[in-house]
Amino acid sequence: MDGWRELDLANPTEEHGMLRQMVRDFVAAEVEPQALEHDREEKFNLELFRKLGDLGLLGITVPEEYGGAGMDAVAAAIVNEELSYSDPGLCLAYLAHSMLFANNLARNGSEEQKQRVLPKVCSGEWIGAMAMSEPDIGTDVLGMSTSAVKDGDHWVINGRKMWITNGCIDDERTPCDVVWTYACTGTDERGRTEISTFLVEREHPGFSVGQKIMDKTGMRASNTAELVYDDCRVPASSLVGEPGSSMLHMMRNLELERLTLAAQSLGIARRCLVEMNRYASEREAFGSKIRDFGQIQRYIGDSYAEWRAMQSYIYDTARKIDLDRAGNRLDSDGVKLLASPLAKGIADRAMQVMGGYGYVGEYVVERLWRDAKLLEIGGGTLESHQKNITRDLDKNADALR
């Protein structure tokens, strides 16, 4: 698998460069050979996923004392970019596990919760997920209806969560091992919805998979499911932090989530650029390589410039993110707003350059084109990023200086 020369921008330290090379080698040897098959079959490769734990990647940002690698946001972006170069579906499962669950718990959990759960998650023994979205709400977090009521030394959770990546881990609708679950626990003194966080584990009574969601446009190699909480009883120790503290949890983790989703777009864009460049050098028409034609040059030239702009913005933002506190929502929204439509556009151009070959699964870009669409929706829609950026600029006009 050919790649483009990486600049220091994307590998700011020797350790980052070594990480990138390790993941790139693993992708070439292990991920690429299975990507098309698992997309076609809509099948999550659990065995391959657990190999990411053997490499120390499943807890890439988790402190070493809990079994993680103790690395930074740049490292998280590198892993997501390199995995998405080959298999964005597998990478989405990785992101849900490592960013949405493991990093969340590492930053917000109690010492007991971190000591008990994180080593299993970092090794791959347990598969984690995060459950926020519901059938009737998208980005309207305060509109969620899933509730949790205190009952002695337990909490009882009722509700349904939808579109949960890693919600189930096989065709038998087996739930994942542990889910970072958001639920309403009442209202505060101002009458505002109080949202709390719970660690719900597979064996907790009343927790199940409602349906495994099939026939998705893209990201078909990651499992998506509806989760059902039917009088689900969890011990009081499953509560993360204090009741009503979920908004703080969300804000601490949101920047890393959106950064790594943007890094997935970067990986998709780079692969599509590699494939269209290769094809344009091999394909001939009317006695010339098609890269000699002006329209093809426009597709390749525009795509290269956009890819480089994405790379610069993403890794500049990654270096500024502090994993322990929120502080750069403006650019974490910005990188995803920029990268996701650009990746889809570059994939579209690659299909156009490759003609009929680009339109079939065997030649990769068709699959990446489908996968890219989700990144305009998941982890915050384009419209939500536009709204957030506009609001943040109203509060902080100095950001434009």
297: containing domain: 247-400
Q: What is the DSSP string of 6-29?
A: PPTTT--SHHHHHHHHHHHHHIII
Report the first-to-last Cα separation within the chain, whole angstroms: 42
Indicate whether 199 belongs to any domain. yes
The β-bridge partners of 117 are: none
Q: Are residues 71 and 153 in the same domain?
A: no
Distance between CA atoms of 209 and 202, rounded to whole angstroms? 10
Q: Are residues 148 and 94 in the same domain?
A: no
List the catalytic residue out of 6, 82, 257, 306.
Answer: 257
Indicate whether 367 belongs to any domain. yes
Q: Exposure string (b/e) for 93-120, b if CB count within 10 Å is 16 or more?
A: bbbbbbbbbbbbbbbbbeeebbeebbbb
Q: Are residues 388 and 254 in the same domain?
A: yes
Q: Are residues 313 and 393 in the same domain?
A: yes
Q: What pLDDT, in 10s, does the model give residues 56-83?
A: 999 999 999 999 999 999 999 999 999 9
What pLDDT does residue 314 have?
Answer: 98
The β-bridge partners of 157 are: 148, 232
Q: What is the DSSP string of 175-235?
A: BPSEEEEEEEEEE-TTSPEEEEEEEEETTSTTEEEEEE----SS-TTS-EEEEEEEEEEEE
What pLDDT does residue 173 have?
Answer: 87
Q: Are residues 22 and 120 in the same domain?
A: yes
Distance between CA atoms of 59 and 76, rounded to whole angstroms? 10
Distance between CA atoms of 57 and 123, rounded to whole angstroms? 9
Indicate whether 341 belongs to any domain. yes
CA dihedral 94, 164, 99, 273 (to 10 degrees): 50
Point out the domain boundary residue: 99, 127, 155: 127
Cα dihedral 20, 21, 22, 23 sign = positive
Residue recorded with tokens 């500049």:
316
What pLDDT does residue 318 have?
Answer: 96
Which amino acid is located at 206 in the chain? G
Using DSSP, state whether 280 is helix, strand or coil: helix
Tell me the pLDDT of the chain (401 aa) as tens digits.
Answer: 444 444 477 788 899 999 999 999 999 999 999 999 999 999 999 999 999 999 999 999 999 999 999 999 999 999 999 999 999 999 999 999 999 999 999 999 999 999 999 999 999 999 999 999 999 887 678 889 999 999 999 999 999 999 999 999 988 889 999 999 999 998 877 778 899 999 999 999 999 999 999 999 999 999 999 999 999 999 999 999 999 999 888 888 999 999 999 999 999 999 999 999 999 999 988 999 999 999 999 999 999 999 999 999 999 999 999 998 877 889 999 999 999 999 999 999 999 999 999 999 889 999 999 999 999 999 999 999 999 999 999 998 888 88
What pLDDT does residue 1 have?
Answer: 44
Q: Are residues 277 and 394 in the same domain?
A: yes
Q: Are residues 204 and 119 in the same domain?
A: no
> Residue 38 is part of a domain; what is its CATH number?
1.10.540.10
Question: Are the C-beta atoms of 265 and 372 separated by less than 8 Å?
Answer: yes
Which amino acid is located at 54 in the chain? D
Active-site residue, 134 included = no
Mean pLDDT of the chain: 94
Q: Are residues 54 and 88 in the same domain?
A: yes
Question: Are the C-beta atoms of 388 and 395 separated by less than 8 Å?
Answer: no
Number of independent structural domains in the chain: 3
The continuous run of DSSP H or E covering 128 comes out as strand 128-131
Indicate whether 7 belongs to any domain. no
Q: Are residues 287 and 360 in the same domain?
A: yes
Distance between CA atoms of 89 and 151, rounded to whole angstroms? 39
What pLDDT does residue 5 have?
Answer: 47
Burial (CB count within 10 angstroms: exposed 0-12, middle 13-18, buried 19+), residue 87: buried
